[in-house]
Structure 1
Amino acid sequence: MSEPVRLSKRLIELTGCSRREAELYIEGGWVTVDDVVVEQPHFKVTNQTVRLLDGASASEPDPVTLLLNVPRGHSPEPVSEQLTLADQWPQDSSGVRPLFGHLKRLTVCAPLQIGADGLHILTQDWRTRRKLQEDLHKLEQEYIVEVLGTLSNTQLKRLNHGLVFNGTALPPCKVSWQNETHLRFALKSPQPGQLVFMCNSVDLKVLGMKRIRVGGVSLGKVQPGQWRYLAAKERF
């Protein structure tokens, strides 16, 4: 049996490419070892069959943005750190080739309200990061809030416009009943703790909060604990 060597070295021997090209091929998911894609250039191989897939490109994979549905009762940070390719929503129609590298070097954008679950945005793309940093205050966010209690018409109007939070009058927003126990909030740039404060101000107890949309991007039917790619046609 031959001595184990790095996959990148074996690929160089097979194709005559440079070391950097070999690393890019491998990290781009274009190299298989015994018909299984391996994305680690340092992966050790011996007598296995190494193959460069048709259509391979020695270029950096395009950065991606992930939309994660944080499960109820879980903090976004641990869930984000434990993502796997197996957690991808099966109906993801973005057309992006899943890569292990897509789960690395992700930056959180547009943080959730404390205690909320639902749409959590993670990106490798500096353009998306800058967009959400600079324009988040302009983008409407939509939350579904489970509450205990009832509302008079006057109280519902106060939720839409008329509350003061941290000494500042809150701007108008759109609040309506989704059903008997859930309110739909559509508002821009909610401050930390704002939704709970608003509900408590009209004698409602908050039982749970779920964000379902940021700007023009909605979570859709992604199940709790699963994620999907932001499609090329989607815009915040």
Structure 2
Amino acid sequence: MTEPLRLSKRMSELGLCSRREADEWIARGWVRVDGKVVSELGSKVLPHQRITIERQASAEQARRVTILINKPMGYVSGQAEDGYKPAVTLIGPDTRWSEDKTPQQFHPSQLRSLVPAGRLDIDSVGLLVLTQDGRIAKQLIGEDTSIEKEYLVRVKYSKPGRLPDSDLRLLNHGLSLDGKKLLPAKVSWQNDDQLRFILREGKKRQIRRMCEAVGLKVIGLKRVRIGRVKLGDLPPGQWRYLRPDEQFQ
């Protein structure tokens, strides 16, 4: 017999929303199981039961925004730390990219519950996603995410000569961090001092630590793509909305 699951967990598994959103909707009476409203937090369901959400929940979800920003150096991804400002402070009507053609109007309320879906170190630049939508956050940073992130990394070799091919192969597969083997990556030379990294995971300072392990020092690091969404021509310090026709996977 299949074990019952917590309703909020099941809703998250089905991609309806995040667990936090599910709990909010359940408390508001916006969730039905097999046609009946379930408003008690912690309620459980069986996998075959049909879960539907009220129109109010769908409408609220549709109003949630996802913002792409070209993070400059010197800003942190999330909460302010060590006197450095978070990237969200760059978002306002004056810094919206003039080429952003989405009809969405900016309103300060969009900054509430706007969280980074993945980190980008303070000394790294490029594509950072901030979202109010729990479904997108789960896609990008959930435990089982397989969405690729692509980086251009300028490096300097600390030993005489050039990085051996065997060490390039190690960067692609074979390194461990914090006692755990890394997933296979795609790492290739773009020119004499720049590597392209494509990863499906995001451990803290992963690329810098991978490079250190083979004697490379990172001089500059820029994220240029997350899944199908590219940084493109978005200028540093400016932002745009995720378009309705864009998807990360």
- The number of equivalent residue pairs is 178
> Deviation per CA, 1:35-92, whole angstroms, max 9, x where unpaired?
xxxxxxxxxxxxxxxxxxxxxxxx8782110001111243334231242111011111
Provide the rounded CA distance (Å) in 1 between the counterparts of 2:190 and 2:141.
30
Question: Which consecutive residues of structure 2, in runs of 5 or more, have no partner in the other structure?
Answer: 1-58, 79-84
> Which range is displaced more, 219-228 or 109-118?
109-118
Find 2:149's aligned residue among 136, 141, 150: 141
Matching of residues 49-128 of structure 1 within 5 Å: 62-77=63-78, 78=85, 79-113=87-121, 115-128=123-136
> Deviation per CA, 1:100-127, whole angstroms, max 9, x where unpaired?
3333431221122463221111112233
Matching of residues 106-185 of structure 1 within 5 Å: 106-113=114-121, 115-134=123-142, 137-149=145-157, 150-185=162-197
Q: Compared with structure 1, are the counterparts of its residues 234 and 136 closer, same or farther at alpha carbon in structure 2 (3 Å cutoff)? A: farther
Q: CA deviation at 1:129?
A: 2.6
- Counterpart secondary structure, 2:116: strand
Q: CA deviation at 1:152?
A: 2.0
Task: Tell whether the 8 Å contact from 2:156 to 2:219 is kept in structure 1 after alignment.
Answer: yes
Q: Compared with structure 1, are the counterparts of its residues 205 and 223 closer, same or farther at alpha carbon in structure 2 (3 Å cutoff)? A: same
Once the two structures are aligned, what percentage of the paired residues are identical?
A: 39
- Counterpart secondary structure, 2:142: helix
Provide the rounded CA distance (Å) in 1 between the counterparts of 2:142 and 2:173.
25
Matched, 1:231 2:243: yes
Provide the rounded CA distance (Å) in 2 between the counterparts of 1:213 and 1:69.
11
Matching of residues 185-204 of structure 1 within 5 Å: 185-204=197-216
> Which range is displaced more, 175-184 or 95-104?
95-104
- Counterpart secondary structure, 1:66: strand
Task: Tell whether the 8 Å contact from 1:85 to 1:100 is kept in structure 2 after alignment.
Answer: no
TM-score scaled by length of structure 2: 0.65
RMSD (Å), alpha carbons: 2.2
Q: CA deviation at 1:165?
A: 1.8
Task: Tell whether the 8 Å contact from 1:138 to 1:188 is kept in structure 2 after alignment.
Answer: yes
Task: Tell whether the 8 Å contact from 1:162 to 1:169 is kept in structure 2 after alignment.
Answer: yes
Provide the rounded CA distance (Å) in 2 between the counterparts of 1:125 and 1:70.
20
Provide the rounded CA distance (Å) in 2 between the counterparts of 1:92 and 1:85.
12
Q: CA deviation at 1:219?
A: 1.4
Task: Tell whether the 8 Å contact from 2:183 to 2:201 is kept in structure 1 after alignment.
Answer: no
Task: Tell whether the 8 Å contact from 1:114 to 1:192 is kept in structure 2 after alignment.
Answer: no
Q: CA deviation at 1:132?
A: 2.8
Provide the rounded CA distance (Å) in 2 between the counterparts of 1:135 and 1:95.
33
- Counterpart secondary structure, 1:189: coil
Provide the rounded CA distance (Å) in 1 between the counterparts of 2:135 and 2:98.
27
Provide the rounded CA distance (Å) in 2 between the counterparts of 1:220 and 1:94.
16
Q: Greater Rg, structure 1 or structure 2?
A: 1
Provide the rounded CA distance (Å) in 1 between the counterparts of 2:222 and 2:112.
25
Which residue number in structure 2 is paired with residue 207 of structure 1? 219
Task: Tell whether the 8 Å contact from 1:144 to 1:184 is kept in structure 2 after alignment.
Answer: yes
Task: Tell whether the 8 Å contact from 1:145 to 1:208 is kept in structure 2 after alignment.
Answer: yes
Q: Compared with structure 1, are the counterparts of its residues 190 and 129 closer, same or farther at alpha carbon in structure 2 (3 Å cutoff)? A: closer
Which residue number in structure 2 is paired with residue 11 of structure 1? none
